Amino acid sequence: MIKNTLLSLLACLLLSCSFQSQTNPPSSLSQAALELTKDDVTYDPAYFKIAYPGGDVPKDKGVCTDVVIRAYRKLGIDLQQKVHEDMKAHFSVYPKKWGLKTTDTNIDHRRVPNLMTFFERKGTVLAKSKNPSDYRPGDIVCWDLGGGITHIGIVVDKKSPQNDRYMVVHNIGSGQRLEDCLFSFQIIGHYRYH
């Protein structure tokens, strides 16, 4: 009887550990990003007043950062709240490009430089290489588009038929799309955050 109880307890413990190690794996973020491509979204960089926490711009609108925010939300991770809390506690380490003197829960998490700072502080910083094999599904990539414009997207588990490298889900002006654009722009950030 004691032996059976111990075996049952051990089996439950092993199942629990196995489940916990699979919580929000990179493939989940990849799948969440791919699901976003089914939504019809118009690129709209307007400032929106949104709820906090858990706020979002209208479902049919968004920019590149909203792809990342919405994908993580599908995994139960609220970047709006996480970025706000970190900015509030460490405001001086975040960019001052917008002349803000304090945090703004409506927009802070929707700015690429702020997300880059957050991922540098709370995630894993990875190499910014030209080697496609360095980029895995679930990675976050940031680019410099020139003229002070930055961009962000999620590497997903779908390869380009032309060159056999992982593709990216992003919104660069025509909605949430899956595209082979990993090396289309200058990479300025490469992160994992799980």
On whether the CB atoms of residues 95 and 113 are closer than 8 A, the answer is yes
| Residue 16 predicted with pLDDT over 90 | no
Q: Is 183 helix (H, G, I), strand (E, B) or coil?
A: coil
Task: Say if residue 152's pLDDT is above 90.
Answer: yes
What local confidence, expressed as pLDDT, does residue 167 receive?
98
pLDDT in tens, 164-182: 999 999 999 999 999 999 9
What pLDDT sits at residue 27? 85
Using 50, 70 and 90 to split pLDDT, how confident is the model at 95? very high
Q: Is residue 13 part of a domain?
A: no
Query: How confident is the model at residue 29, as a pLDDT?
Result: 98
- Domain count of the chain? 1
Indicate the range of 14-28, 64-78, 133-147 predicted with least confidence. 14-28
Is 93 part of a structural domain of the chain?
yes
Pairing of strands 42-43, 186-192: unpaired
Task: Tell me the average pLDDT of the chain.
Answer: 90
- In-domain check, residue 10: no
Q: What is the pTM of this model?
A: 0.87
pLDDT of 68 higher than 60: yes
In a domain, 72, yes or no: yes
Half-sphere exposure of 153 (CA within 13 A, CB side): 32
Closest CA relative to residue 139, chosen from 71, 58, 47 = 71
Structural domain that includes position 111: 25-192
Q: Name the β-bridge partners of 62.
A: 43
Out of 34-38, 115-119, 162-166, pick the least confident: 162-166
**Domain harbouring 150, CATH code:** 3.90.1720.10
Whether residue 46 is contained in a domain is answered as yes
Question: How far from chain centre, in Å, is Cα 60?
Answer: 19
Please report the pLDDT score of residue 10 as a whole number: 37
Q: Is pLDDT larger for residue 86 or for residue 194?
A: 86
What secondary structure letter does DSSP report for 156? E
Which residue did the predictor score with more confidence, 3 or 28? 28
Q: How many whole angstroms separate alpha carbon 129 and alpha carbon 87? A: 29
